[in-house]
Amino acid sequence: MNHPTPIAWPLRAWFAVELFFAVAASLSVGLDPADSGANFAWTIKPEVMASLFGAFYLSLLPVMVLILGVRQWELARVFVLPGLAFTAAQLIVTLLHWDRFAVGTGPFNIWFASYLLPPPVFAACWVWQQRRAGTSLASDAPLARWQRSGLIVLGTLFTLEALIGLVVPAWFAADAPWKISPLNARALAGYFLLLGLLMLSMAHENHRDRVRVVAPFLALLLPLAAFQLSRFPAQVNWGHPRVAISTVLLTAVAALGLSLLRGSWPRLWRAAGPAPARIEHLPPVPPRAAAQ
């Protein structure tokens, strides 16, 4: 079995930058969604839409804190490619709807940097780390069959819906529990893409320790989304079918996340030390020589 690969300092530094971006977004649309015109990259209406975006950032915040603390590439790898795809998608959304953004303002500059910089950084770090990692560690702690199957099914569903929404925003906007603009629909599809690809990445890793760092995102999304929507109850059509369907799907996601939180957390912060030295075995000593 191969030995763990230490995370290089450029990637560790970038995880710190990503944590800053997550904190900034959480403080804006997560805590104060009603004032997105002043504290976010664009004015989001209705306010419940901004509040839902905030739920995604708040759910992701613990993951960014945890991933900054792990020392092994194999324990952080599960996030990198989904993070690359998510930020690239949101960058495309920004360019497609450039006229809707508050270009030149501080919140917009943070938003733009948070989606312009990560794709090349994540891509370069992935290639660099993977070349040093060699063959993946053997899956000595595989996921339960139902966990891996659930991740694949739900991950595929959310990924497909996200891709449809990115190309055809009316998929979300035409029939929704509240009014959704094309920009908001595409941004929501980007968050769904992150969720779907994270689950598929977890299924690909198929290792309890290597997926645990992102499990809080799955476990927290439903309760935080419910709380955020409850802040603007009058803006939500609670009887809409999408509310019920989303509740069922996110309940399944949360159940998976909670099941994957179980395990040895201290192992996630153990240093990735060098491979143990090779022990040379000496030839056995003849009994007569040993007696002398």
Give me the residue spans of the domains in the chain. Answer: 9-133+141-264
Q: What is the DSSP letter of 176?
A: -
pLDDT of res. 132: 85
Average pLDDT over residues 43-71: 95
pLDDT of res. 117: 96
pLDDT of res. 2: 54
C-alpha dihedral, 40 to 42 to 46 to 50, nearest 10° = -40
pLDDT of res. 286: 55
Average pLDDT over residues 153-159: 98
83-134 per-position pLDDT tens digit: 999 999 999 999 999 999 999 999 999 999 999 999 999 999 999 999 988 6
pLDDT of res. 139: 59
DSSP for 241-267, written as a single string: HHHHHHHHHHHHHHHHHHHHH-S-SGG
pLDDT of res. 284: 54
Helices (H), 97-214: 106-116, 118-133, 145-167, 170-173, 182-205, 208-211
pLDDT bucket at 140, cuts 50 / 70 / 90: confident
Let me know how many helices (H) and strands (E) the chain has, helices first.
13, 0
Dist CA 111 CA 157 (whole Å): 27
Please, how many CA atoms are within 13 Å of residue 7, restricted to the half-sphere of its CB?
A: 25
58-83 per-position pLDDT tens digit: 999 999 999 998 989 999 999 999 99
From the number of C-beta atoms within 10 Å of its C-beta (0-12, 13-18, 19+), residue 54 rates as buried
Q: Note whether 274 and 81 are within 8 A (CB).
A: no
